[in-house]
Structure 1
């Protein structure tokens, strides 16, 4: 076990090594940050996340030319309306890729879409929600899956929401580096993307963007959407929530899903045994009861 003692701006380990820190983050400051994040968006930050919190927020401390986290937190309290979105954006995690957990998209194509074509044949309307859409790879993957899969004349749309306004802006822009689209096959790239002359930037074509509406949304606050959804993707989001927050969110999803609607979670997430609103279909796929 390694024992660390914080002294001024240095961390002294049990082995005698000293690790220099640009700024000191005290226990009380870390706790205040943890409490604010949980209250704002339900994300639970344990002690093991302290270094992550430090490395992300220290960028704001530097950018605003403060000399300490204490000064930054005082500024955050005084100018909350202007700074709080930057604060939350710094903390939230945005790891994503096109067709991540591809079995979900295969199930969407092979099972969900045929079901919806039959179930919604009178309304010819389908709504899919990408909750926690990050920089847009997930909703664009959904759009690539549904494009051309429904009969002509159907009204099919994807709502893409996230708490982080910075990643939403990137998603709306629809521009990705060559490394970001590396996992896509040539068929998808040619059909749905425009490549710049250097081959280093790929822009989503309007024909794909038309399916998606991006919107900033805090999942723990009121939802302004009217009408129900047939499918919800909420992947690698609830992993950061505690049990009561997860249960409350799952209940709200059940209320807004259409009859026998589908819910997709991330590979390390699950409903838990006490959830009565959904039936597991395996591989973190669920159906509303």
Structure 2
């Protein structure tokens, strides 16, 4: 999940004006789908002034020109990373994981034992808490899951976050919401850190992916988690994303979205709300 942190401009020595801000937010919108309001002008300065200095550029106008040039393509990714802050926790919106365990897992087990490929997608995995929560839920119901063709695809726009996720290492504070019995099964404590087990990490494949660009995946997913992401997109981008996600869900599968998000039935008629909040089932 991607959210934009609130910060105040505390004064700065790098030239920065309205035109620079508008150019930067246009790049962010085009590349990531995130829409910045005018109130985020101080945030952009506070987040990017360090990047301007690291690039040895005199002002934001030069920085914008650089990230728009072929030579600045890598810096453009750094810019997007700098403007996005990942806020999440393990087993966030617990009702989704209860639904996944009670309703989806029996079908996953049936399909896996028939030799079918089973795929789950955490589509904006942020710092990894969501896909690892899914993995723990799967192994809790199906301890031999790694012996079958079951995999969680976890994607995020941030290369930095994907690198972090692959380590499978979190602070004690970050893991407080994980049940103790889960921690005992699939982690070890080293100092002030929790290191996830190889069994847990084996279930998850972390990849970089921009949700607004073409998706390389050829399969459909029995469940997709796309939570607290669309709220940062404008309405047209949201609707486009909901349609694409619906197409990627297997008939009879489920799409989990954020607590403040909603899919209008006239926009995506082939998925319908089920009994679990902000959970949609794909028509068979």
1 or 2, which has the higher strand percentage? 1
Measured in 2, the distance between the counterparts of 1:45 and 1:23 equals: 21
Shift of 1:65: 3.7
Alignment of 1:166-181 (within 5 A): 166-181=160-175
- The answer for the alignment partner of 1:53 in structure 2 is 44
Measured in 1, the distance between the counterparts of 2:42 and 2:94 equals: 32
Closer, same or farther in 2 for the Cα pair 1:94/1:114, shift >3 Å?
same
Whichever of the two has the greater Rg, that structure is: 1
SS in structure 1 at match of 2:237: helix
SS in structure 1 at match of 2:141: coil
- The answer for the alignment partner of 2:22 in structure 1 is 31
Shift of 1:132: 0.5
Larger deviation, residues 19-28 vs 254-263 = 19-28
Alignment of 1:81-230 (within 5 A): 81-118=73-110, 122-150=114-142, 152=144, 153-196=147-190, 198=191, 200-230=192-222
Q: Do the aligned residues in 1 keep the contact of 2:265 with 2:272 (CA within 8 Å)?
A: no
Shift of 1:285: 0.7
Larger deviation, residues 127-136 vs 173-182 = 173-182
Measured in 2, the distance between the counterparts of 1:185 and 1:258 equals: 30
1:21 aligns with 2:15: no
Closer, same or farther in 2 for the Cα pair 1:120/1:191, shift >3 Å?
closer
Q: Give the TM-score taking structure 2 as reference length.
A: 0.88
Q: Do the aligned residues in 1 keep the contact of 2:111 with 2:117 (CA within 8 Å)?
A: no
Of structures 1 and 2, the one scoring higher in RCO (CA 8 A, sep 6+) is: 2
CA deviations over 1:62-110 (Å, ceiling 9, x no partner): 3334332123223223322221110111112311111111111011101
1:278 aligns with 2:248: no
RMSD of aligned Cα (Å)? 1.9
Larger deviation, residues 109-118 vs 38-47 = 109-118
Measured in 2, the distance between the counterparts of 1:285 and 1:35 equals: 32
Count of residue pairs brought into register by the alignment: 270
Of residues 44, 63, 86, the one that matches 2:35 is 44
Shift of 1:39: 0.9
Shift of 1:117: 3.5
1:268 aligns with 2:260: yes
SS in structure 1 at match of 2:53: helix
Larger deviation, residues 81-90 vs 47-56 = 47-56
Q: Do the aligned residues in 2 keep the contact of 1:251 with 1:277 (CA within 8 Å)?
A: no
Alignment of 1:224-243 (within 5 A): 224-243=216-235
Q: Do the aligned residues in 1 keep the contact of 2:121 with 2:152 (CA within 8 Å)?
A: yes
Measured in 2, the distance between the counterparts of 1:136 and 1:103 equals: 19
Q: Do the aligned residues in 2 keep the contact of 1:231 with 1:263 (CA within 8 Å)?
A: yes
Q: Give the TM-score taking structure 1 as reference length.
A: 0.87
Structure 1: where are the runs of 5+ without partners?
Answer: 1-10, 12-18
- The answer for the alignment partner of 1:4 in structure 2 is none
Q: Do the aligned residues in 1 keep the contact of 2:90 with 2:133 (CA within 8 Å)?
A: yes
